[in-house]
Amino acid sequence: MATLIDGKKISQEIKDELKEKVAKLKEDGISISLAVIQVGNNPASTVYVGNKKKACAYVGIESLAYELPEETTEEELLQLVQELNEKKEVNGILVQLPLPGHIDEDKVIQAISPAKDVDGFHPQSVGALSIGQKGFVSCTPAGIIELLKRSGIAIDGKECVIVGRSNIVGKPMALLLLRENGTVTVCHSHTADLKEVTRRADILVVAIGKAKMIDADYIKEGAVVIDVGMDRDENGKLCGDVDFESAKEKAGAITPVPGGVGPMTIAMLMNNCVESALMQK
Ligand code: GUN
């Protein structure tokens, strides 16, 4: 029976540490602000953005909300990003994805100043990560590293297998695990024998967006299983990419959904905002 990795509890610890740090900075006259831009009203995005604003309020970071209509043009959005880049009092800029189809996401991400790229999505941030230079790191994979470290799970020398190769999770996850001296394999939809590869993992990170796809059969006895999925099961209930009930019987440690990786993403966003303000001052 696996140990539960409690992301909710660990993220709360991080937010409490940051809250203290932010209060001390305030005494020194340093305040922190994050601009959060949402275009249109995708219901999932509204929930995520709401959670980010709530975390800002808790930690003591001012959130500046820009709720733009669905019809906003790419030019208007780029103009806003440019204005926020130039505003000294804005430390971080976050454009919630996905954007409406008529807006080129890559163009918008590239318009954000790398100094304010608290999501870590800018090509300069990703490039810096890949060659071991300083820069913002995508919050979900950064949160997973923190989750492992704070749970006392060693990465050095371990077989790390990632299922999924997205720009936001899979690829930066591979780079971060490599930086921690893991032996890293990335699987994807063209992997010939997925089970054969995932069964080698000491640490298995799953980010594929398919409800309950990874069951005990894919897992080595005692492995650490990190579930990045946010899916709905056949009854419409929130679940992950891992079949938790089956996997927990074989894994050594496992993250639940909800309450695993999700809250860590937001805690790391708060951390990036604090870092961003410190670097700018
Ligand atoms: N949409 C889903 N996850 C994220 C995220 O981490 N950042 C942004 N900006 N949009 C998202």
> pLDDT tens for residues 58-100?
999 999 999 999 999 999 999 999 999 999 999 999 999 999 9
Residue with CA nearest ligand 1 atom 8: 96
Annotated active-site residue 16? The verdict is no
Q: Which residues of 137-162 are buried (b: 16+ CB within 10 A; e: fewer)?
A: bbbbbbbbbbbbebbebebeebbbbb
Per-residue pLDDT reduced to its tens digit, 163-194? 999 999 999 999 999 999 999 999 999 999 99
> Hey, what amino acid is at 91?
N
**What is the pTM for the complete model shown?**
0.97
Q: For residue 2, report the distance from its CA to the centre of ligand 1, in Å.
A: 30
119 lines ligand 1 (CB under 6 A): yes
Evaluate if residue 281 carries a pLDDT over 90.
Answer: no
Query: In this predicted structure, what is the pLDDT of residue 143?
Result: 98
Q: What angle do CA 175, 179, 182 make, to 5 degrees?
A: 90
Q: Measured between alpha carbons, how far is residue 135 from residues 98, 109, 114, 267 in Å?
A: 23, 15, 8, 17
Query: In this predicted structure, what is the pLDDT of residue 183?
Result: 98
Catalytic residue among 52, 171, 220, 250: 52
Per-residue pLDDT reduced to its tens digit, 212-233? 999 999 999 999 999 999 999 9
Residue with CA nearest ligand 1 atom 1: 97
Q: In a mutational test of the pocket of ligand 1, which residue from 97, 228, 266 has the highest number of ligand atoms less than 8 Å from its CB?
A: 97
Query: In this predicted structure, what is the pLDDT of residue 238?
Result: 96
**Binning pLDDT at 50, 70 and 90, where does residue 122 land?**
very high
Annotated active-site residue 96? The verdict is yes
Query: In this predicted structure, what is the pLDDT of residue 80?
Result: 98
CA dihedral 125, 130, 132, 135 (to 10 degrees): 10
Q: For residue 46, report the distance from its CA to the centre of ligand 1, in Å.
A: 11
Residue with CA nearest ligand 1 atom 3: 97
Looking at the DSSP bridge assignments, the partners of residue 161 are 185, 204
Annotated active-site residue 119? The verdict is yes
Rounded-to-integer distance, Cα 268 and Cα 171, Å: 17
For residues 249-263, average pLDDT:
98
Q: For residue 142, report the distance from its CA to the centre of ligand 1, in Å.
A: 14
